[in-house]
Structure 1
Amino acid sequence: MNIFSSLITSRMVATLSALVVIGIGCSAGIWQLNRAEQKIRLGESLAIKLAMPILNANTTDLSLELATERRITVRGRFLVEEAVWLENRPRPIPEGIANSAQAGFYLMMPLLLEDQKKVLWINRGWAPRNNLNRVELPPISTPESAVVIDGVGFSHPGKVYELGQQAEVMSKPRIEQNFDLSKETKLHSWNQLPFIVRESSSNKSDGLVRNWPLPTNGVDRHYAYAFQWFALALSGFLFWLITGFLKYRRERVVNGDRV
């Protein structure tokens, strides 16, 4: 039996523990690398689609497939009373700027398209929350007249983890964890476009932040996390190997064998 086989068979508990640490470290490291690769692919896809001609939601019958990640312009009036505030959303931080981890709301507001009986949900941007009073909403301004919104189409405004299913209530203001287009269709029974538009204009003085980060934001962080997980796996293997080798040497010395 060689030394490596001896280290395994004579220390089964230590070997199994090391395998667990190595397995967790490698799996988590690979997952982080995959997440980085996904963000890179999303960034490339978004860059290609953003270079395409702008779509007009007032004049073109847009499907979810056609509108996703495309630049869209639309004209209409906001239905202020039907707004939905999505809580527990981090402040949008552009790439290269330190994240302040400030929590707040995304303001989802339906827009009634001009000269049409169609509704398009707009993610108007982010606003800070009152940490002392959850239902006290931040002050924002909304034009009463028709507005032109420029943005990018998405299937949803992003999701956060929530426990259980929320009851379908219409209490005002509506503060929710996540946004579901199909749910809004059932609640309002209106003709609704099958996507949302994330507003892009960042120079409006309406109290909302729209410095949306790129999909590739955080790729370096994923690589750093992957390195840490792989380092953990390597450390687990080296600890098992070194302690086993030292134990093997001690046993050889006790038995009078030369090492």
Structure 2
Amino acid sequence: MIAIGCGAGVWQLRRAETKIALAANLAARQQMPILSANAGPWTLEEAGERRMTARGRYIPEAAIWLDNRPRPIPAGGTGNAAQAGFFVMMPFRLEGVNEVLWVNRGWAPRNNESRESLPPIETPTGLINIEGLVFAHPGKVYALGSEESDIDPNKPRIAQNFDLEREGQLHGWPQAPFILRLEEMGVADGLLREWAPLTTGVDRHYAYAFQWFALAFAGFLFWLISGLRQYWRSNVARGQGE
């Protein structure tokens, strides 16, 4: 019990340190000059976790609605984090570049009475400018089985996870090797973009670490008290035998 408690406590502290380091790296990369997707192509190593602008047109008919995504809650914000919904992944055709950029436009609530119904959102038409943060993927959730193989890539669809390479093969278009998570606030398009910082959950890791160390300490006290009692009893028995 002592070894398990100490080991689990140290593991939780390391998880917290990892999140803090990731957040520090993200903050540092955000201070770097803003990239332009239209000035690419860029690699994930060059653009990852950096701010990026893009000019082009959305392709709404090829949107992917990622299911079972919790509502984003910003640091210090309020809301129901347990509310499930969709991340709306939409391809964005760059102006003047033969490349498509996949954009995580934000979160939309799910209709629990009709899981296949998609909530109404507004999609700008024509040439627009967008800005966001570059990531390798929009995050993954546990999925039972595999995604459907017989799909029409030119129709909006619901999926559990997003496979960037697979989408490139389905559509047959050149695309950026990363996604852009939209950071625009105050846009009335039916989507939430109040993204939580990467440090979210650090306090929880510290709390778990405290619980595990407390369990280890309780195990140590139990071992110590039991040993002292046994020692005291053996001394008493030895004294009575003399």
TM-score between the two structures when normalised by the length of structure 2: 0.91
Deviations 1:68-126 (A, max 9, x none): 01110001111111111111111111112356222111110000112333110000001
Q: Which residue of 1 aligns with 2:201?
A: 218
**1:229 counterpart = 2:209:** no
SS in structure 1 of the partner of residue 92 of structure 2 = strand
- For the residue of structure 2 that corresponds to 1:167, the secondary structure is coil
TM-aligned CA deviation for residue 223 of structure 1? 1.0
Q: 1:117 to 1:237 in 2, by over 3 A?
A: same
Q: Which residue does the alignment assign to 2:46?
A: 66
Assess if the C-alpha contact under 8 Å between 2:60 and 2:156 holds in 1.
no
Superposition deviation, residue 257 in structure 1? 5.2
| Matching of residue 194 in structure 1 with residue 174 in structure 2 | no
1:254 deviates by 4.1
**What pairs up with 1:14-93 in 2 under 5 angstroms?**
21-93=1-73
Q: Is the 8 A contact 2:123 2:189 kept in 1?
A: yes
Identity among equivalent pairs (%): 58
Name the residue aligned to 2:85: 104
Give the match for residue 140 of structure 2.
159
Per the alignment, in what secondary structure is the counterpart of residue 28 of structure 2? Answer: helix
Paired with 1:168 and 1:191, the residues of 2 have a C-alpha distance of: 21
Q: 1:155 Cα shift? A: 0.6
Q: Is the 8 A contact 2:64 2:157 kept in 1?
A: yes
1:236-255 correspondence to structure 2 within 5 Å: 236-255=219-238
What one-letter code is carried by the residue in structure 1 that aligns with 2:183? S
The total of aligned residue pairs comes to 238
State the secondary structure of the residue aligned to 1:241: helix
State the distance in 2 between where 1:69 and 1:105 align: 22
Alignment correspondent of 1:142: 123
TM-aligned CA distance change 1:240 to 1:89, over 3 Å: same
Query: CA distance change for structure 1 residues 177 and 257 in 2, over 3 Å: closer, same or farther?
Result: farther
Query: Bigger shift: 122-131 or 172-181?
Result: 172-181
Label 1:251 to 1:130 Cα distance change in 2 as closer, same or farther (>3 A).
farther
TM-score computed with the length of structure 1 as normaliser: 0.85
Is 1:169 paired with 2:150?
A: yes
* More displaced stretch, 41-50 vs 161-170: 161-170
User: Judging changes above 3 Å, is the alpha-carbon distance between structure 1 residues 60 and 247 closer, same or farther for their aligned structure 2 residues?
Assistant: same
For the 8 Å contact 2:41–2:176, the answer to whether it is kept is: no
Aligned equivalents of 2:239 and 2:168: distance in 1?
82
Q: CA RMSD in A?
A: 1.9
CA distance in 1, matches of 2:225, 2:127: 72
Structure of larger gyration radius: 1
In the alignment, structure 1 segments of 5+ residues that lack a partner are 1-20
Distance 2:63 2:117 in 1: 14
Instruction: Note the residue ranges of structure 2 that are not aligned, 5 or more in a row.
Output: none
Secondary structure at 1:58 match in 2 = helix
Q: Quote the Cα distance in structure 1 between the aligned partners of 2:148 and 2:92.
A: 24
